[in-house]
A and B are shown apart, each in its own frame.
Chain A
Amino acid sequence: MKRREFIELSAQGMGGLLIYSLTGRPVVANAHEGKVRVPLRFFTEKEAKVVVAACERIFPANESGPGATQAGVVVYIDHQLAGPYGTDKYRYTQPPFDESAPGYGYQGKENPQEIYRAGVQKLGDDFTELDGPKQDARLKAIEHTYFFRLLRQHTIEGMFCDPMHGGNANLIGWQLLGYPGPQMSYREQIGKYNGVPYRIKPQSLEQILGYPIHPWEDEEKG
């Protein structure tokens, strides 16, 4: 049996309590100490660390707020890749594959798991040891690849997904944007906030529904 791999993330990022401010600038307060060990479903620990570092360069924590590491984007990507999406369970995979014709979107044979495995390797084992500008240079060199397109897209998804998917830890991404989560009704508010922000404390789908729900990748393995 495959050895269980984990990634250690700082609890400050994963569970730090965020207070939302109306200026749109989230404030981290009352952060927890220590580390959380998150079991990995697809990545090896080494791969996960490269992905954490690369996603942080794509969506960094900076003056405008938290970034990919704090949101747990790597957990989101890991779960997606281990689910039906990662193995192209619902993609059209009949040959012939013609990747030469432009404009068709991705026409290749490799599934997201394979694309990530090769892509992460290409970023290099030493990627995590490089400084920011050097990491950026490596990413710049693969910017045109489908792997990078996926990595960028998945970083955004992991920032702003419902937390049941593993990303957007503590709704940190939603707080960053002032997005309230999948609220069931704005009937009272519609048309009354003309050019004025309507900002409430965001809630996850599960919090709003009041009962547990399961994302696709938990219900179906890849």
Chain B
Amino acid sequence: MQTLAPVDVVIVGSGWSGMIMGKEIASRTPLSVLVLEKGGGFRGLAAYGREMDEVDTFIRKRQAESPANGLVTTRASSRARANPIRQYGDFPWVGCGMGGSSDHWGATSPRFMPEAFEIATHLKRLHGASKLPPNNLIQDYGITWTDIEPYYTQAEEMMGTSGKAGNLNGKKIEGGNIFEGPRSREYPNPPHPMLYAPQLFAKAAKELGYHPFPMPSSTLSQSYTNPDGISRIGCQYCGHCSLFGCMVGAKASPNFTLLPIALTKKGFSVRTHCNVRRVVHKGAKAVGVIYVDDSGTEYMQPADAVVLAAWTFNNARLLMLSGIGEQYDPMTGKGTLGKNATYAVHVGLEFFLDRPQNIFMGSGGMATAIGDFGGDLGDEGAAEGALRGGLIFCYTQGDPPVISAFGVIPDGEVKQNWGGEWKNAAVKWSDRYGTFLSTENHFPYRQNYLDLDPNYKDKWGDPLLRVTMDWTDAERKQAAFISRKQVEIAKIMGAIAINPRPVPSATSGPPLMVNNHSHGGAIMGASPASSVVNPYLQHWNIHNLWVVGGSALPQGEEHLTLTVAALAYRAADAFINVYLKQPGALA
């Protein structure tokens, strides 16, 4: 194996986490920074125009990680044998190539609720520990709202998030989410236009006494120049958003907002088609990474500091493969690596209207939401065992544009899902429906965790990550509660028909509880006894190893990208301002 010339910092992965760390370190220090990306390079905006094809991009997912390389295995309980994800269709997708999944996201960008960071303390104070669901591993992040707020602002300004503040320095503002934590600044861009059905949603929600607001989106509503001097034009509402690269650069991506800056820095470089297999460590110090290129040749890349930013699951898996930290054991409760694996409780419905919606127009994050059930569910929820919720939001843009948006019909209207009668109904309703969704809080449990699969291996012979996860009664109660609230709004909106889905997970359920919204496995926390990284995302045992990304979140929440970006900024600040001056453990 060839040993390459050492670098100061090696970063694994080029999504938001890796590129925020990379761009900040390369811009603010003289260090050499190398980003290793397992996929290919940034293909440019014209390529994204050519890729506006639903079959190749959205359905076959040509731009995503190939399932043939090995994704993950899943099972609902530790008594079962896990099976691998063999193809897309059963599993959302994993980004691959420069920008990772951050280049193909929907750009929905709410912040977490302020109490989310101290959730254990908060819930125990509110309900008492005995009212929390059995076997829960609910724990605090080790940071507070005040710690993260400036970094939320920084992330929003870098991306150019479009939205409306609902709480500006403590002052509640109608029209924004009045339940959000106090923000230090207004959103950098105004919200997107509100489409027809979301307008009806807003009106109905108000009638019920709720507080509708435009869902924040990191797709630009207008031309914008960010604090780094990056100018991008506003969204064209082409309807090819989630899973597509943005052909005008309006949707925030590390390729648009970070890579162009980083590439001007002398110490910064990127190497694509490099799949990292191990973090090499000697004692309590990381000394570099081993990666393999597409030809199968292995290289040792020495580095003074290692940053893992390789997607939630790959961060945990790389630590496991590298023998760093103690694997969590659900029987004994010992070990921290792989614990607090969570998803998000997806609850949704489809509603039908008598008027066309032009569902092919819009962008991924365009929606109208209410935050009234975005955090605590109050006495009414607690009485039925539903403690925490999520934003309820309404959208009509198909996003997917046409094929995958086809076939939504009121429940019970047709007897089978093919043939003339079905076709008539599917054609009739094809542009006359919309969707509600909530991506809610998901508590961590003792029985939900990550480890290495004993049977299935990736392309290079390394074990796949195994996800063991199932819903509990707490999620079922939560889903029933939120679904009821959703139906109530849809009725007042004047929906002709409603397809409620009062069970957790409108997208995929056990044994397939994995997606690009997965959280945990290498979580942050205040103590090495219950977490893998400290509140700065520095590994508790190896101080020159930083593990950045959704893996750090100790419980499942609302759309996580903005929070992941904020945590990466905070980690970069700690690394540059504190760690470099005196390398050692920061907590």
List residues of chain A with CB under 8 Å of any chain B CB.
57-60, 62-65, 67, 85, 88-94, 96, 98, 101, 103-107, 136, 139, 143, 152, 155-157, 159-162, 164-165, 174, 176-180, 182-187, 189-191, 193-198, 205, 209, 213, 215-216
Contacts and interface: CB of A to CB of B under 8 A. Distances in A.
Contacts of A58: 418-419
Most A CB contacts (10 A, CB to CB) among B62, B74, B194, B419 go to B419
A57 B417 CA distance: 12
Contacts of B76: 103
A101 B356 contact: no
B18 interface: no
A216 B56 contact: yes
A103 B512 contact: yes
Closest 9 CB pairs of A and B: A105-B90, A191-B193, A195-B355, A185-B236, A194-B196, A182-B52, A197-B356, A186-B237, A186-B361
Contacts of A198: 358, 361
Nearest to A167: B55
B245 interface: no
Given A89-B68, A190-B193, A161 B55 contact: yes
A177 B60 CA distance: 23
B237 A187 contact: yes
B403 A156 contact: yes
B283 to A, nearest CB: 35
B419 A106 contact: no
Contacts of B357: 195
A159 to B, nearest CB: 8
Interface stretch (B80-88, B251-259, B369-377, B496-504): B80-88
Contacts of A136: 419
Contacts of A183: 238-239, 360
Interface string B477-511: 00000000000000000000000000000000111
11 contacts: A92-B85, A101-B83, A103-B76, A178-B431, A184-B238, A185-B237, A193-B196, A195-B357, A205-B52, A213-B53, A215-B53
B50 interface: yes
Contacts of B234: 187
Nearest to B356: A197
B81 A177 contact: no
B236 A187 contact: yes
B84 A195 contact: no
B199 A194 contact: yes
B68 A90 contact: yes
Contacts of B190: none
Contact of B54 (A161, A176, A186, A209): A161
Given A180-B360, A187-B236, A157 B55 contact: yes
B386 interface: no
B67 A90 contact: yes
B406 interface: yes
A51 to B, nearest CB: 14
A180 B358 CA distance: 10
Contact of A104 (B194, B417, B424, B512): B512
B268 to A, nearest CB: 32
A65 B423 CA distance: 9
Contacts of B406: 156, 160, 177
Contact of B417 (A92, A152, A161, A189): A152
B240 interface: yes
A106 B87 contact: yes
Contacts of A85: 60
B89 interface: yes
Contacts of A184: 49, 236, 238, 247
A191 B56 contact: no
B456 interface: yes
Contact of B80 (A101, A152, A194, A205): A101
B86 A91 contact: yes
Contacts of B247: 184
A163 B490 CA distance: 37
